[in-house]
Chains A and B, each alone.
Chain A
Amino acid sequence: MFRLIGRHFKEAFQGIFRHFSSSLNSITAVTVTLLLVSLLTLIIGNVSQITKTLEDEVKIFVKIEDEVEDAEIPALTRKVENVEGVSMVEFSDKDSELDKFIKEYGEEGKLFEIYREDNPLSRAFIVSLREGYSISDVASRLEKVKGLTGVEFGGVSTEQFLKVLNGVRQGGYVIVLALTLVAIFLIQNTINQTIFNRRLEISIMRQVGASNSYIRQPFVIEGIFIGLMGSVAPVLATIFGYKYIYETVGGQLVSGMLTLQPVYPFAFYVSAFLVVVGIVVGLIGSFLSVNKHLRWRR
């Protein structure tokens, strides 16, 4: 058994080195496609991160009518919690509303301390959204709840920005999937070329009594190695390139709100993903190709 495995590995390595130029073609094809996959995965990963942060930050601010008694607040809270799309409701009384108001105005805000005794502000709910719900939809539903008045949120622009990000994320998934399929096709084609050049060799193997699985194994191992070697450059590019970008922009885009995924572990996850894609693609590609060429001669 070990003897057999040893032989297959020997065959595979000999295959790679004795047909080095065609192996190099396949490796390059893997490298190029994996670089693209890497780029897209990095973008998707960060877009998801930013979307999630933004979604967490987006809150709807709802004032409570002054007629509502303090005793009725728990019941009202439950009512708001039951509105479709609401994930969390936080109650804020007059005092804390004033605190926030004063804080917003900084030094000058201290002037408003005089209102502490006769507070004109309303009590409010700060409502967080469940993922995937549109802010304006939830806001308009909240407006209909009795006892609430003045629903405020970041506005249409926030909502549209989120929509764009979500679009980018979903589009990204589709492109990565398409790219992986293209990669399999490309690599299958180049490995196909490699194996086509060795078709005679395969028929000779059958001629001297090699079983199909025996013939297939070195090629499949070769395919896996090609995938592995093709993923080396993309992995290095991912880790160091991403580290460079991350450090250059200081870990965030535009403002502190749009933070990037930290290099560790994100770049390593992406790298592992690339290695796996490379191996799988090499394996599938070579398997399909050998099977085709096995049947060249009976």
Chain B
Amino acid sequence: MVNLQNVSKSYKNGVNALNDITIEIKDGEFVYVIGETGSGKSTFIKLLDGEEIPTKGRVEVNGVNVGKLRFSKVPLYRRNIGVVFQDYRLIESKTVFENIAFALEVINKPRREIRQRVREVLEIIDLVDKAKSFPSELSGGQQQRVTIGRAIANNPRLLIADEPTGNLDPERSNEIVELLEKINEAGTTVIMVTHDINLVNKYRKRTIKFEYGHVVSDSREGGYVAHV
């Protein structure tokens, strides 16, 4: 599903965000990516969704060489992956329903199918009663659930969540992880970036730890492994 081969990324300002990373994530896995701020987690996500191009190495997702995509082809590639951001990135001028429907409209699904799918998604994220609300009228946890709903609307094979619980209190965080687990059980590969150690220890999954642009641990048993 996801395959990084000797990937390095340095930015124009001279920061070496990632150094010679090799990671393989299989279909149907649920993986945590943890690390301090500046450890390279965000760059890892940006390489996966095509926002950044690797300086060296090869990033392959779903058989697509992401680093070689042309600017205009990037959105087309993204139709097969869902991305959830810490800052939600909802369209403020659209209602919850429209925000989710939007991801289906851009790939030109018929209107009836869109309505049906959006209702399904609203069920999954448990926001049926908020369908007509605007994002500004929702709490943080609700907005994050809308983002997840939008990301899974067109049944992507890979869901990437970048600090989805970053702005939420523990209880809402648990809800979000449980929602992601539900999505994972339905067959979607999930990569969740977080620095919330409590969550990682509570819902044990494969955990990859980044430090200074290197992978310092990749534990199949899950849970947070203290410095070796």
Contacts and interface: CB of A to CB of B under 8 A. Distances in A.
Interface stretch (A40-48, A73-81, A197-205): A197-205
20 contacts: A3-B108, A3-B110, A3-B111, A7-B105, A201-B92, A201-B93, A204-B91, A206-B78, A208-B75, A208-B102, A209-B79, A209-B103, A209-B107, A209-B154, A211-B72, A211-B106, A212-B75, A214-B106, A298-B51, A298-B74
Q: Which of A3, A200, A208, A209 has the most CB of B within 10 A?
A: A208
Nearest to A206: B75
A205 B106 CA distance: 8
B89 interface: yes
A298 B47 CA distance: 11
A211 B154 CA distance: 16
A202 to B, nearest CB: 10
Contacts of B107: 209
A16 to B, nearest CB: 11
A51 B71 CA distance: 56
B89 A19 contact: no
Contacts of A208: 75, 78, 102-103, 106, 150
Contact of A212 (B51, B72, B78, B93): B72
A267 B104 CA distance: 48
Nearest to A201: B91
Interface residues of B, number: 28
Interface in A78-134: none
Contacts of A200: 89
Interface of B: 49-53, 71-72, 74-76, 78-79, 83, 89-93, 102-103, 105-108, 110-111, 150, 154
Interface residues of A, number: 22
Contacts of A19: 93
Nearest to B51: A298
A214 B87 CA distance: 24
A199 to B, nearest CB: 12
Interface in A7-51: 7, 14, 18-19
Contacts, number: 58
Contacts of A236: none
Nearest to A198: B93
Contacts of A4: 108
A298 B106 contact: no
Nearest to A10: B105
A230 B92 CA distance: 27
Contacts of B90: 204
A209 B93 contact: no
Nearest to B72: A212
A210 B106 contact: yes
Given A3-B110, A7-B105, A210-B106, 11 more contacts: A19-B93, A201-B92, A207-B49, A207-B89, A208-B103, A209-B78, A211-B72, A211-B76, A214-B106, A295-B71, A298-B51
Interface in A175-206: 200-201, 203-206
The listed residue with most B CB atoms (<10 A of its CB), out of A19, A205, A206, A295, is A206
Contacts of B79: 209
In the A-B complex, the 3 residue pairs with the closest CB atoms? A209-B79, A210-B106, A208-B103
Nearest to B89: A204
A4 B106 CA distance: 9
Contacts of B71: 295, 298
Nearest to A18: B93
A84 to B, nearest CB: 60
Nearest to B90: A204
A146 interface: no
A163 interface: no
A209 B102 CA distance: 10
Contacts of B76: 209, 211
Interface string A198-240: 0011011111111110100000000000000000000000000
Contacts of A201: 91-93
